[in-house]
Amino acid sequence: MRALLVKYKQPLTSEAFAIAFRKIMLHWVQKVMGPRPPDSTASLLAGLKSWTCNCDVCPPVRNFLTAKPEESNSWTRIGAPKRRHLETFLSKYAKQIATFAMIRSTPQGITVTKTKAMVGPAKWAHGQAEGKKLLRSISANQHELQAVLGPDYARIVAGLEGRSMGLAANIANVAATAPVASGSSTMPAMQPVPQGVLHTTGATPAAAAVAATAVSSHPTSMPNAAPMGVAATHVSSVLSTSAPSSKRVDDAEHAQRKRRKRTYDEQDVIDLT
């Protein structure tokens, strides 16, 4: 595409081509490459450093294991001696990263298959290399790439490097724009307590219930507070009726004793004879 633009003397930032470039690169990093898989190949490949044979079959097998994205490869008609030679080195240095199987032909061959721990990272690394080539085909100048790719430049570069910057930025934007739930929105509003009910403090539950009923029975006279007299009258009557019977008996006896203990002054007595 760049060659086409140069041929017709069009700038790289031409809208139609810039949009096409962005879509191609985004598709590559998101769909072709995808997220970077866990890579433990460095430790697995460490054993290959001791595999130093440079015959005509060993280097191609080592290159396949370390630098090719394919899952398996076959070396056909190499003969039984070379097949056994490869199997010896594979068993000794590549046991954790590959398996092998004989091809029963004349002459014999061998098929080498990578383990799953090797396949994912190898494919991703190959896609990364091809993606960087594709990016350089647009331009090798960073400022030009920023102008062409626009707001997607950072996300594309992050994808090529195996970083999740684009995803993290999207999550941060969503979190920043999401409405924050207030704690008070889930709590019912506090209603003012009618003044008359406050006089029921320390009263029995029955007294409190009657006082509350008395307050609610006059909603139109004063919406926020009940008349003091009404609540006090009901509370006092309830308290008096709800008092224990023994207390009422004691009060009656006390009043009778007071009447019996009245004293008289003899000088105040009038002689009626």
Beta carbons within 8 Å of 156's beta carbon, 6+ residues apart = 22, 25, 26, 29, 135, 149
Beta carbons within 8 Å of 152's beta carbon, 6+ residues apart = 22, 25, 26
pLDDT of residue 56: 96
- How crowded is residue 226: how many other Cβ atoms within 10 Å of its Cβ? 26
pLDDT of residue 1: 72
Q: What's the mean pLDDT in 256-266?
A: 54
Q: What's the mean pLDDT in 202-220?
A: 44
The answer to whether residues 75 and 86 touch, using CB atoms and an 8 Å cutoff, is yes
pLDDT in tens, 164-188: 755 445 543 444 444 444 444 344 4
Query: How many residues belong to the chain?
Result: 273
Mean residue pLDDT across the chain: 74
Give the tokens for residue 226.
């009940």
Q: What's the mean pLDDT in 187-196?
A: 44
Please report whether residue 268 resides in a domain.
no
Same domain, 106 and 144: no
State how far the Cα of 251 lies from the Cα of 232, in Å rounded to an integer.
22
Same domain, 6 and 56: no
Q: What's the mean pLDDT in 98-120?
A: 95
Please report whether residue 204 resides in a domain.
yes
pLDDT of residue 50: 95
pLDDT in tens, 39-64: 888 888 998 999 999 999 999 999 99
204 pLDDT more than 90: no
| Total number of domains constituting the chain | 3
252 pLDDT more than 90: no
State which of 114, 137, 152 marks the end of a domain: 114
pTM for this prediction? 0.53
Q: Which domain holds residue 7?
A: 2-33+122-166
Same domain, 109 and 162: no
Same domain, 67 and 12: no
**Across 176-180, 240-244, 247-251, which has the greatest mean pLDDT?**
247-251
Q: Quickly list H helices, the chain.
A: 2-7, 15-27, 41-44, 58-67, 80-93, 116-138, 142-149, 153-160, 165-177, 205-216, 228-242, 245-260
pLDDT of residue 8: 78
Question: Percentage of the chain surpassing pLDDT 90?
Answer: 48
Same domain, 212 and 157: no
114 pLDDT more than 70: yes
